[in-house]
Amino acid sequence: MGVLTGKKAPLFTAPAVTNGGEMIDAFKLEDYIGKKYVVLFFYPADFTFVCPTEILAFQDKIEEFDKRDVQVIGVSTDSQFSHWKWLQTELNDGGIKGVKYPLVADQGKTISMDYDVLAGEYDWNEEGNFIFEGTPMAYRGLFLIDKNGVVQHQVVNNMPLGRSITETLRMIDALQYFEKHGEVCPADWHEGEEALTPTHEGIAEFLSKK
């Protein structure tokens, strides 16, 4: 699995559905670079089981992301039409109605490949035919992108393992604290707790207080 942390996030233009039902033919990640932080997360498929729990959990915490100037964007290899239908489906029927942040359609799988979260790959078989080997869906990848377009944090889970939205918010807080104060954030740091200066003296002082 590729590591994008510390590198520029791959840009893309793709169809998407936003505001709970508005279809966009050319949704661009670059429109947010320089303006907002971005949490870009991949999920395997619409109308599944773990995926709606994550997607709805992001929506439930959307005010917390807004307060931190973060744009949440979801991506799967489904079509924008599948996204739209799922967004119109009530929760008690397995839908995600009420989700407002963008869901991007990566039918060509190029975005998933660029972020190295595709659970399979294209190859040539012995007969010379171009085929896909594996599962044509994305793992549960999540990428925190700063305002300069650089990936500052990434995590990739296998398909059965849902992610922690609370941990995502903690990582945003840690990044923004470091950007503002220049102090680094130790293990399990949370907003309001003491950080430390990145020196031998700083770590010694921090550990002496524990």
Determine whether 51 is an active site residue. Answer: yes
- Residue 132's pLDDT band, with cuts at 50, 70 and 90, is confident
Within-domain flag for 4? no
Total domains present in the chain: 2
Judgement on whether residues 140 and 182 belong to the same structural domain of the protein: no
CA distance 57 to 169: 12
Report pLDDT for 200: 76
142 and 191 part of one domain: no
What CATH number did the domain enclosing 130 receive?
A: 3.40.30.10
Query: pLDDT tier at 125 (50, 70, 90 boundaries)?
Result: confident
- Of 71-80, 107-116, 187-196, which gets the smallest average pLDDT? 187-196
Residue 202 has pLDDT above 80, yes or no: no
Of 38, 54, 25, the residue nearest 138 (C-alpha): 54
Does 137 share its domain with 171? Answer: no
Any domain includes 34: yes
**67 and 108 inside one domain:** yes
Q: Does 68 have pLDDT greater than 80?
A: yes
Spatial contact of 80 and 17, defined as CB atoms under 8 Å apart: yes
Structure tokens belonging to residue 68: 């931190």
pLDDT above 90 coverage of the chain, percent: 83
What is the maximal distance between C-alpha atoms in the chain?
66
| Model pLDDT, residue 175 | 98
The answer on 179 and 156 residing in a single domain is: no
Question: How would residue 120 be classed by pLDDT, with cut points 50, 70 and 90?
Answer: confident
pLDDT tens profile 5-56: 999 999 999 999 999 999 999 999 999 999 999 999 999 999 999 999 999 9
pLDDT score of 90 = 97
Mean pLDDT computed over every residue of the chain: 94
Answer whether 87's CB lies under 8 Å from 17's CB: yes
Domain identity same for 100 and 201: no
With a pLDDT cut of 70, the percent of the chain lying above it is 99
Point out the catalytic residue in the list 29, 51, 72, 137.
51
Are 139 and 61 found together in one domain?
yes
Determine the pLDDT at residue 133: 83
Residue 144 and residue 182 in one domain: no
Enclosing domain of residue 111: 13-163
Give me the mean pLDDT over the 174-184 stretch. 96
68 and 138 housed in the same domain? yes
Confidence bin at 1 (pLDDT 50/70/90): low
Residues 154 and 60 in one domain: yes
Which tokens belong to 161? 């393992």
